[in-house]
Amino acid sequence: MLLARSRRSVVLSTRSLVFSLVWLAASVGSASRASAADTDRGAELYELCTQCHGVAGEGNQAALAPGIAGLPEWYVLAQLQHFKKGERGMHPEDTGGLRMYPMSQTLKTPEDMQAVAAFVAAMPKVSSERTLEGGDATRGAQLYTICVACHGPDGAGNEALGSPPIAGQSDWYLLSSLQKLKSGHRGTYPNAVVMRGMAGTLTDEQAMKDVIAHIMTLHPTNAAAAAPNQ
């Protein structure tokens, strides 16, 4: 009697284990299929973005489009949300932003925004060429001390503060961003307001070029390694 009960218990336990393994395998399979579907959707949505940002997300200065390949998903998503809400890209002096506002409206659902943000984040980073001249990296290092609290000593950024990584970004775009932030043209979302004050500490374009010259010495690989995640 006891032996029969023991055998029955073992059989039931085995069945439970097998069921659990089957369920787990099905769940993993479903997650993989969902992930593949999200990637396909992100790639499909990104086709419209290639006109300005390029197939590899390398950016295009002539189109006022920055390199976005490999930016953190959270940051890309946040910016898309700012554009779609009209918190960014609405100022008449922000030509590049004005182009992004209607583009953001083509992303109809939060899932679409998430899919394209994830696709962009998964892209391999693309090296940017220097275009600015006359910056003093030594003086820029001193000016950069105020930036460290949010962007980090390696320019890695800080997701908790909503601060993107800036190491490895195109110098022309960094200059354009600082100019827009200082003038208040960048947008009305909280970080843009905060950054307006920070950019205001750079008294002129030369100071901006100096701090950018320093940022260009920060190696993207080191920044990525230091980042908790753009």
Contact yes or no for 185/86 (Cβ under 8 A)? no
Residues 6-25 have a mean pLDDT of 39
Residues of the chain with CATH 1.10.760.10: 37-126, 129-230
Residues 42-64 have a mean pLDDT of 97
> 62-102: per-residue pLDDT in tens?
999 999 999 999 999 999 999 999 999 999 999 999 999 99
**Predicted local distance difference test score (pLDDT) of residue 103:** 96
**Predicted local distance difference test score (pLDDT) of residue 17:** 37
Evaluate if residue 158 carries a pLDDT over 70: yes
Residue 38 structure tokens: 């999200």
Q: pTM, whole model, 2 decimals?
A: 0.80
37-126 topology per CATH: Cytochrome Bc1 Complex; Chain D, domain 2 (1.10.760)
- The mean-pLDDT minimum among 43-47, 143-147, 221-225 falls in 221-225
> 176-203: per-residue pLDDT in tens?
999 999 999 999 999 999 999 999 999 9
Distant-in-sequence contacts of 133-136, Cβ < 8 A, 24+ apart: 134/206, 134/209, 135/209, 135/210, 135/211, 135/212, 135/213, 135/214, 135/216, 136/209, 136/210, 136/213
**Predicted local distance difference test score (pLDDT) of residue 219:** 82
Q: Which residue has the higher pLDDT, 138 or 23?
A: 138
**Predicted local distance difference test score (pLDDT) of residue 113:** 97
Phi and psi (nearest 5°) for 11?
A: -60, -45
pLDDT band (50, 70, 90) for residue 221: low
- The mean-pLDDT minimum among 33-47, 52-66, 112-126, 143-157 falls in 33-47
Q: Which residue has the higher pLDDT, 4 or 211?
A: 211
Structural class in CATH, domain 129-230: mainly alpha
pLDDT band (50, 70, 90) for residue 6: very low
**Predicted local distance difference test score (pLDDT) of residue 25:** 36
